[in-house]
Structure 1
Amino acid sequence: MTSPAYPPKPVPGDRIAIISPGSGLPGPLPLPHELGLKRLREDFGLEPVEYPSTRKMGSTPKERADDIHAAFADPTVKAVMASIGGDDQITVLPLLDRELIRANPKPFFGSSDNTNLLAFLHNLGIVGYHGACVMTEIGRPYALHPLTADSVRAALFTSGPYELRPAELYRDTDRDWADPATFEREPDSQPAGGWIWHQPDQVVNGRAWGGNLEILSWLLMADREIERDPAAYEGGVLFLETSEELPSAQEVFRILRNMGERGLLARFPALLMARAKAWSFQQPNTMEDRRRYAAEQRDAVLRALAAYAARTMAVFDVDFGHTDPQLVIPYGGSVSVDGPARRITVTY
């Protein structure tokens, strides 16, 4: 596989497409969306452009594909950002015009269900950016998180190395987006505890590939956007995160076991595992339960690595998942994981 190339970057004053290739939640929950659009204008100097399905719940896969095509084909639009994730973006992929998008490469920002589009772009030879959805990160209650803001700004406007930093505080709880009071005070947070390193005895320089673990498992089942020859990923940096649906440690192990049986895990000499989101409205876990959930997930990952990728170095609790703050990972871009120095550097 040819290494993906970085698309041209926008500059302040440019137009940025805001699309909903997954869920049209900006419609029923406009407060974080409007706040995110305001910050894109005022904090980043960009002009957001919305499309017919951006705020439409229940839009068809074709409607969403049409918006993606319009965003990439418009020469006045210099970057594309997802409003939020979802759970059925996989149904949009077969409708996408590969040649149109390949001929009009642009930086695309999104996470969670947007792993679908990021993997699609990767296979077109285009570096994407895992992170920075409008509603979740840019529209964060009260204020942008400084670590998120710095990472997003660097990924949007600059090219070159960017060293990731561990968060001192993090958040994995949420408040009601329909309540204006949610946005009037800083979200609750707790000490982060730093990164956890496993076998930090090497330096790995490779291309980033991965995303949301549940979405990757669906892509594997549907046989979409994942190379059938695992050798295509040789020497890369695998990065994985889990969603607010809180998959069990057993499910995480099973997905990784299946990736191991496919011959995928052993191709990656380094794994970045995001801090696990361990609370949701459906499962409002206590702090003790959240710590247990994260520890059990870590143990499941280590068990899979021991069975299928015993030499792989791993870093846990890196902030690029469904928790806050969220750092941007260049999907298909260069990443350096320096075990002895305990440093992670990405290239935007």
Structure 2
Amino acid sequence: MTQPVHPPKPRPGDRVAVLSPSSGLPGLLPLPFELGLARLREDFGLVPVEYPTTRRMGSSPRERARDIHAAFADPGVTAVIASIGGDDQITVLPHLDRELIRANPKPFFGYSDNTALHCYLWNTGIVSYHGGSVMVELGRPGAMAPLTADSLRAALFTSGPYELRAADRFRVVDRDWADPATFEAEPETDPGDGWLWHGPERVVEGRSWGGNLSVLSWLLMADREISQDLSAYDGGVLLLETDEELPSAEEVFRILRAMGERGLLERFDALLMGRAKTWSFDRPGDHAERARYARDQREAVLRALAVYAPDVMAVFDVDLGHTDPQLIVPYGGLVRVDGPARRITVTY
């Protein structure tokens, strides 16, 4: 595979596209969205540009693809940021013009359902950035988490190595975005215990690939944007994370088992597993239940690795995906996982 393109970075004062490639939730929940837009302008010095489907629920896949094309094709737009995730971005992919996007590479930021677009860009030869949505990270109540803000700023504006740091504290419980009182103070946090390392202690440096585990399972089932030549993933760093739907440990194992049966898991030399989301409005759970859920998920991942990829070095509770603070990880870019030194460095 040819070397992926790192698109030019924006500069303060530039226009950046804010898209909703999945769900038009900004139209239903404007408070975190408006806060995120304000921070883009005031804290990062960027000028957000909205599109017809950015705030519109129920937009068709073709309409959302049209906005993606417009954002990438506009020479006056220097980056593309997702408002939030969703659950049907897979239906947008067939409407995308790969040559148009390849001819106009730009940094793309998002996660969750935006895994679909990350996979698409990976296959198009463009490095993107896992994390940094407008409504969640930029629209965080009270203030942006310092680790998130520093990581996002570095990913947006700089190039070169950036060492990830484990969060001292992290948020577990969500609050109602429709309630203005939610945004009057920062969320409560729990103490962090650092990253958990498993497997051979070695140094791995490779291109990253992966994303939200459920979305990856959908792409695998549809046989969409998964390389037929599995050697393309050789020596890479696998990124995985789960979400507020709280998939059971058994479901996590079954998805990884299917990836193993396809011969995919064994291709990677390292796995970065995002801190498990353990709380949702439907399943709040107490501290003991949340701890049990996270432990069961970790054991399910280790069970799959033991069968299909016993030589993979795995790091758990990495601050990526559905967690707060959230670290931005390049998707398709270089990630260095240093087992002996217990360090993770990405290249923005």
TM-score w.r.t. the length of structure 2 is: 0.99
2:50 corresponds to which letter in structure 1?
E
Q: Quick check: 1:21–1:82 contact (8 Å CA) kept in 2?
A: yes
Q: Deviations over 1:314-342 (max 9, x none)?
A: 00000012110110010000000000000
Partner of 1:40: 40
Structure 1 runs of 4+ aligned residues shifted over 4 Å read: none
Aligned residues of 1:200 and 1:342 also touching (Cα < 8 A): no
Do the aligned residues in 2 keep the contact of 1:200 with 1:338 (CA within 8 Å)?
Answer: no
1:184 and 2:184 correspond: yes
1:274 aligns with 2:307: no
- What SS does the aligned partner of 1:10 have? coil
Q: In the alignment, is the contact (CA less than 8 A) between 2:200 and 2:311 conserved in 1? A: no
Q: Specify the alignment match of 1:243 in structure 2.
A: 243
Cα pair 1:109 1:128 within 8 Å, conserved:
yes
Report if aligned partners of 1:3, 1:332 keep a CA contact under 8 Å in 2.
no
Residue 143 of structure 2 corresponds to 143
What letter corresponds to residue 256 of structure 2 in structure 1?
L
1:223-265 superposed Cα distances (whole Å, 9 cap, x missing partner): 0001122211000000100011000000000000000000011
Q: 1:92 offset after TM fit, Å?
A: 0.2
State the secondary structure of the residue aligned to 2:144: coil
For 1:285 and 1:125, the matched residues in 2 are separated by 42
Which residue number in structure 2 is paired with residue 3 of structure 1?
Answer: 3
SS at match of 1:26: helix
Deviations 1:251-299 (A, max 9, x none): 0000000000000111101000000000001111111110000000000
Change (3 A) 1:140 1:200: farther
- Aligned pairs (5 A) from 1:226-305: 226-305=226-305
Q: Aligned-pair RMSD on alpha carbons?
A: 0.6
The answer to whether the Cα contact below 8 Å between 1:200 and 1:340 also exists between their aligned partners in 2 is no
Q: Does residue 1:309 correspond to 2:343, yes or no?
A: no
- Partner deviation per Cα, 1:55-110 (whole Å, 9 max, x = no partner): 00111101100100000000000000000000000000000011110000000000
Counterpart mapping for 1:1-348 below 5 A = 1-348=1-348
Aligned length: 348
Q: Distance in 1 between matches of 2:200 and 2:346?
A: 17
User: 1:37 aligns to what SS in structure 2?
Assistant: helix
Q: Once the two structures are superposed, what CA deviation does each residue of 1:141-199 show, in whole Å capped at 9, x if it has no partner?
A: 11000000000000000000000000000012110000010000110110111000002
The one-character-per-residue Cα deviations of 1:2-36 (angstroms, maximum 9, x if unpaired) are 23221000000000000000000000100000000
Gaps of 5+ in 1: none
Gaps (5+ residues) in structure 2?
none
C-alpha contact 1:35 1:139 (8 A) present in aligned 2: yes
Do the aligned partners of 2:279 and 2:285 also contact (CA within 8 Å) in 1?
Answer: yes
What residue identity is the alignment partner of 1:102?
Answer: R
Specify the SS of the correspondent of 1:16: strand
> What secondary structure does 1:270 align onto?
strand
Which residue identity is paired with 1:21?
P
Check conservation: 1:89, 1:114, Cα contact below 8 A. yes
1:200 CA drift (Å): 4.5
| 8 Å CA contact 2:208, 2:331 repeated in 1 | yes
SS in 1 for 2:25: coil
Residue aligned with 2:239, SS: strand
Q: Tell me the SS of whatever aligns to 1:279.
A: coil
Secondary structure of 2:336 counterpart: strand
Contact 1:230–1:262 (CA under 8 A) maintained in structure 2: no
Task: Provide the rounded CA distance (Å) in 2 between the counterparts of 1:23 and 1:172.
Answer: 23
CA contact (8 A) 2:111 2:211 kept: yes
TM-score normalised over the length of structure 1: 0.99
Report the 3-state secondary structure (helix = DSSP H, G, I; strand = E; otherwise coil) of the residue aligned with 1:269.
strand
